[in-house]
């Protein structure tokens, strides 16, 4: 897995174009996936929520708009956080959403501080996935939940073949062209294709201390929403 410092520098480099590219390259479907994740948290009545790898704070802002009263977002890339902070302020959400620099593998919070922890498109970047998931479990209260949204690869013909073609060839070209950083958009398919998905990722969640792990494949398997509970 990539080193944290390389990942930090890469996201700092693409921060200014991140939001545009994110919605463009996913044709906006990521918004629907994010709404679904927030609904899961609301079903558990989560009020104090941590957004790990918050980036430019899209998920944290959505959670705030949907009525979750306290959200803390952490990320290693300060340029991503700076853009997120401006968005939070522009939308008048500064009393609800707090952003701070921190690594998933070393969260600066005491045990059991949050009702829920969420991550969107972040876990595959962790240098140490097991440690990041353990830390997320540590700061969750017993009975609280984790929700992880991550890209995955469709299983069946012809979506799988079309997706791989798009992901391996068009996306690095298009992303590189718009962001001016081809490496960053080559990194995306490389990490997605190498990342544990489905049942393998569920085993990682169990290994980190969660139970009641579930997965829901979205949009034909382009992304997967994983949820789990901290035993309590």
Query: What's the residue count for the chain?
Result: 232
Using CA atoms, how far residue 197 sits from 7, 32, 124, 136, 201, in Å, is 21, 20, 10, 18, 5
Residue in 21, 96, 117, 120 binding ligand SAM, rule: CB under 6 A:
120
Shortest spacing between CB 159 and ligand SAM, in angstroms: 22
Asked if the peptide bond before residue 158 counts as cis, ω within 30 degrees of 0, the response is yes
**Cβ closer to ligand SAM: 65 or 155?**
65
The one-character DSSP state at 70 is: E
User: For residue 20, how many other CB atoms are within 10 A of its CB?
Assistant: 11
Using CA atoms, how far residue 131 sits from 35, 40, 42, 58, 199, in Å, is 27, 24, 26, 24, 19
197 binds ligand SAM (CB under 6 A): no
**Cβ closer to ligand SAM: 53 or 225?**
53
**Cβ closer to ligand SAM: 4 or 91?**
4
Retrieve residue 95's tokens. Answer: 């009393």
105 binds ligand SAM (CB under 6 A): yes
Q: Beta 70-75 vs 140-151: how paired, if at all?
A: unpaired
Residue in 50, 68, 88, 103 binding ligand SAM, rule: CB under 6 A:
103
How many binding residues for ligand SAM (CB under 6 A)? 24
135 binds ligand SAM (CB under 6 A): no
121 binds ligand SAM (CB under 6 A): yes
CA–CA separation, 144 and 158 (whole Å): 39
User: Residues 175, 21: contact at Cβ < 8 Å?
Assistant: yes
115 binds ligand SAM (CB under 6 A): no
Binding piece for ligand SAM, criterion CB under 6 A, among 2-10, 91-99, 156-164, 174-182: 2-10
76 binds ligand SAM (CB under 6 A): yes
Residue in 26, 41, 58, 218 binding ligand SAM, rule: CB under 6 A:
58
Q: Which residues bind ligand SAM (CB under 6 A)?
A: 4, 7-8, 11, 22, 52-55, 58-59, 75-77, 80, 103-105, 120-122, 125-127
């Amino acid at each position: 897995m990539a080193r944290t410092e390389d990942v930090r520098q890469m996201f700092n480099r693409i921060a200014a174009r991140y939001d545009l590219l994110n919605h463009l390259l996913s044709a906006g479907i990521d918004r629907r996936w994010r709404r679904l994740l927030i609904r899961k948290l609301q079903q558990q009545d989560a009020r104090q929520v941590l957004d790990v790898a918050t980036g430019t704070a899209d998920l944290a802002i959505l959670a705030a708009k949907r009525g979750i009263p306290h959200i803390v977002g952490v990320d290693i890339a300060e340029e991503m956080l700076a853009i997120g902070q401006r968005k939070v302020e522009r939308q008048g959400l500064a009393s609800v959403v707090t952003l701070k620099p921190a690594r998933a593998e070393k969260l600066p919070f005491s045990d059991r501080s949050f009702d829920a922890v969420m991550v969107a498109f972040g876990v595959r970047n962790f240098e140490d996935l097991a440690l990041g998931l353990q830390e997320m479990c540590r700061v969750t209260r017993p009975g609280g939940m984790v929700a992880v949204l991550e890209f995955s690869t469709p299983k069946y013909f012809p979506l799988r073949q079309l997706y791989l073609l798009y992901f391996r060839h068009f996306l690095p070209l298009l992303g590189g062209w718009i962001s001016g950083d081809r490496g960053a958009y080559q990194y995306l398919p490389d990490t997605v294709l190498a990342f544990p998905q489905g049942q393998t990722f569920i085993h990682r969640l169990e290994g980190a201390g969660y139970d009641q792990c579930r997965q829901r494949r979205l949009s034909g398997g382009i992304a997967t929403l994983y949820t789990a509970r901290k035993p309590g």
